[in-house]
């Protein structure tokens, strides 16, 4: 089957895209502004009460609304059979309970998984922010406690510093213990994988690609099987379970491709998939890549400046022995550099840049034949393209949790930022005890968090 160039047929399409807009990355996107953990993050997903707000969320998520179908029908005149099939599929995904014991539709269950992923992600970042900031404050207060007799003979400053040190020690120990017991990172990964698996099967179902190539009843039965498997991903919250993915056998009696979709349905679904799935997701990957690169460069630059400045501050401290701030800075600056390196490990910027670069490159090849061919060939290329693209998305999202299990990858990821910081430390003229303090901070952070998690997928 030789590919043919896309047709030039003009089709009016819904005028609302999914919101995949290229962002201008800048200071507002630094991790301590954009990715700062939120207070009071709601535990349960709440569906928007306002119908218009919910419709707009569906569009931002890339899903089909009944208004999309009505608008396309008004502009292009869908045949009754095509109109009925599109409406039935959209209503089923938006309104029908996914099982006899569930009170949520397919899309709302997806949103529940997405919300749970955001909740546990926020919890994980909270624990790690507390630990990193607590370790930094503990280091600074310990030094203040040592210096205080020279600057405050009354002992008030020293007592306060040791009190803060003790309080920070208790808080960081509690945060570390809660992080280990609640396992928010694993729960975040598991729920993210569930949400992305649901998203993939939404598009496979709507476009009638495998394994949803049979009659309507068979397609819904097949989807119920998949939903059961997705619900069971990570059900026991152990690492082996977290690696499971939903898989289902192809349809035994598939409808031939040329009979699955009418030409009118094909044009509508092509628009939806191109604009709301491929282009929106690709734009999101590129935006996140730029954000991660910006934060990685910022962290490394500031860390390098801090470490480089220690030599000058050290020379000044030898001359200005009565200046408390100057005496404190030789420890404070390296500690700040170590904290930035720790955040680099937590957010995993370098690794995610590579993952998203690879995903965009694979999508470019997988989507090349989306609008190729004429007649039955066009439909075959469309279905094959959907399956190829969704396999690329599956490969990307299946990496969620992989670092938690694959210790070699986790170790490799953690070394990206740490090795650069260690090089700066070794090449600096810092006192030996200061270098040891910086290494201790880095090692303590790495010990409490053996892997470097990726930033969230869409919407996170």
- Give the integer Cα–Cα distance in Å for 2 and 10: 23
pLDDT at 100: 66
Banded model confidence at residue 403, pLDDT cuts 50, 70, 90 = low
Q: Is the pLDDT of residue 119 over 50?
A: yes
- Give the integer Cα–Cα distance in Å for 194 and 245: 9
pLDDT at 112: 95
Q: Is the pLDDT of residue 457 over 50?
A: no
Most confident of 151-160, 231-240, 290-299: 290-299
Find the mean pLDDT for residues 348-355.
Answer: 90
pLDDT at 7: 46
Query: What confidence tens digit (pLDDT) does each residue in 409-433 have?
Result: 333 334 445 565 565 556 544 556 6
pLDDT at 10: 41
pTM above 0.95, yes or no: no
Q: Is the pLDDT of residue 125 over 90?
A: yes
Banded model confidence at residue 250, pLDDT cuts 50, 70, 90 = low
Banded model confidence at residue 98, pLDDT cuts 50, 70, 90 = confident
Give me the residue spans of the domains in the chain.
Answer: 31-37+80-448
Find the mean pLDDT for residues 266-280.
Answer: 92
Q: Is the pLDDT of residue 193 over 50?
A: yes
Percentage of the chain exceeding pLDDT 70:
77
Neighbours of 43 (CB within 10 A): 9
Query: What confidence tens digit (pLDDT) does each residue in 44-80 have?
Result: 999 998 999 999 999 999 999 999 999 988 888 888 8
CA 392, 390, 394, 350 torsion-angle sign: positive
Find the mean pLDDT for residues 373-386.
Answer: 90
pLDDT at 383: 93
Find the mean pLDDT for residues 381-410.
Answer: 74
Q: How long, in residues, is the chain?
A: 460
- Give the integer Cα–Cα distance in Å for 400 and 393: 12
* Residue 335 or residue 101, greater confidence: 335
Banded model confidence at residue 448, pLDDT cuts 50, 70, 90 = low
Find the mean pLDDT for residues 117-134.
Answer: 93
Exposure string for 404-425, b = 16+ CB within 10 A, e = fewer? bebeebbeebbebbbebbbebb
Find the mean pLDDT for residues 379-390.
Answer: 94
pLDDT at 323: 74
pLDDT at 298: 95
pLDDT at 450: 45
Banded model confidence at residue 332, pLDDT cuts 50, 70, 90 = confident
pLDDT at 161: 86
- Give the integer Cα–Cα distance in Å for 201 and 223: 8
Find the mean pLDDT for residues 292-308.
Answer: 92
Find the mean pLDDT for residues 111-116.
Answer: 96
- Give the integer Cα–Cα distance in Å for 171 and 131: 8
pLDDT at 5: 47
pLDDT at 442: 63
- Give the integer Cα–Cα distance in Å for 445 and 452: 11
Q: How far is CA 50 from CA 43, 53, 222, 404, in A?
A: 20, 5, 32, 39
Find the mean pLDDT for residues 77-97.
Answer: 90
Q: Is the pLDDT of residue 303 over 50?
A: yes
Q: What is the mean pLDDT of the chain?
A: 81
- Give the integer Cα–Cα distance in Å for 340 and 31: 10
Q: What angle do CA 290, 292, 294 make, to 5 degrees?
A: 65
* Residue 63 or residue 98, greater confidence: 63
- Give the integer Cα–Cα distance in Å for 397 and 195: 10
Find the mean pLDDT for residues 267-286.
Answer: 92
Banded model confidence at residue 186, pLDDT cuts 50, 70, 90 = confident
pLDDT at 31: 94
Q: Is the pLDDT of residue 459 over 60?
A: no
Q: Is the pLDDT of residue 27 over 70?
A: yes
């Amino acid at each position: 089957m030789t590919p043919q160039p896309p047709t030039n047929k003009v089709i009016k399409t819904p005028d609302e895209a999914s919101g995949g807009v290229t962002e201008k990355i800048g200071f507002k996107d630094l991790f301590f502004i954009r990715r700062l953990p939120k207070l009071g993050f709601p535990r349960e997903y709440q569906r928007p009460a306002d119908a218009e707000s919910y419709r707009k969320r569906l569009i931002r998520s890339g899903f089909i609304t009944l208004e999309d179908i009505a608008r396309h029908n008004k502009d292009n005149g869908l045949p009754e059979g095509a109109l009925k099939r599109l409406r039935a599929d959209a209503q089923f995904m938006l309104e029908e309970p996914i099982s006899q014991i569930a009170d949520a539709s397919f899309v709302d269950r997806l949103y529940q998984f997405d919300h749970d992923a955001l909740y546990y992600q926020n919890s994980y970042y909270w624990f790690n922010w507390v630990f990193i900031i607590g370790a930094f404050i503990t280091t600074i207060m310990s030094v203040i406690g040592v210096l205080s007799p020279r600057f405050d003979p009354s002992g008030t400053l020293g007592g306060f510093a040791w009190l803060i040190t003790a309080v920070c020690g208790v808080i960081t120990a509690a945060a570390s213990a809660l992080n280990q017991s609640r396992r928010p990172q694993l729960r975040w990964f598991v729920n993210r994988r569930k949400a992305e698996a649901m998203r993939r099967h939404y598009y496979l179902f709507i476009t009638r690609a495998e394994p949803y190539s049979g009659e309507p009843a068979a397609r819904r039965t097949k989807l119920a099987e998949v939903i059961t498997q997705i619900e069971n991903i990570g059900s026991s919250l152990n690492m082996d379970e977290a690696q499971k993915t939903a898989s289902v056998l192809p349809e035994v009696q598939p409808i031939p491709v040329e009979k699955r979709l009418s030409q009118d349905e094909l044009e509508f679904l092509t628009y939806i998939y191109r604009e709301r799935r491929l282009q929106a997701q690709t734009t999101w990957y590129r935006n996140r890549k730029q954000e991660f690169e910006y934060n990685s460069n910022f962290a490394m630059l500031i860390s390098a400046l801090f470490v480089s400045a220690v030599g000058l501050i050290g020379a000044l401290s030898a001359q200005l022995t009565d200046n408390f701030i100057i005496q404190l800075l030789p420890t404070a600056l390296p500690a700040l550099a170590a904290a930035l390196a720790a955040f680099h490990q937590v957010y995993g910027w370098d690794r995610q840049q590579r993952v998203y670069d690879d995903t965009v490159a694979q999508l470019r090849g997988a989507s090349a034949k989306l609008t190729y061919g004429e007649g039955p060939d066009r439909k075959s290329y469309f279905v094959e393209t959907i399956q190829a693209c969704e396999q690329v998305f599956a490969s990307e999202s299946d990496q969620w949790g992989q670092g938690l299990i694959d210790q070699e990858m986790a170790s490799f990821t953690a070394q990206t930022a740490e090795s650069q910081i260690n090089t700066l430390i070794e090449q600096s003229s810092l006192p030996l005890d200061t270098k040891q303090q910086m290494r201790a901070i880095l090692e303590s952070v790495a010990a409490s968090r053996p892997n470097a998690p990726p930033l969230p997928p869409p919407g996170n």
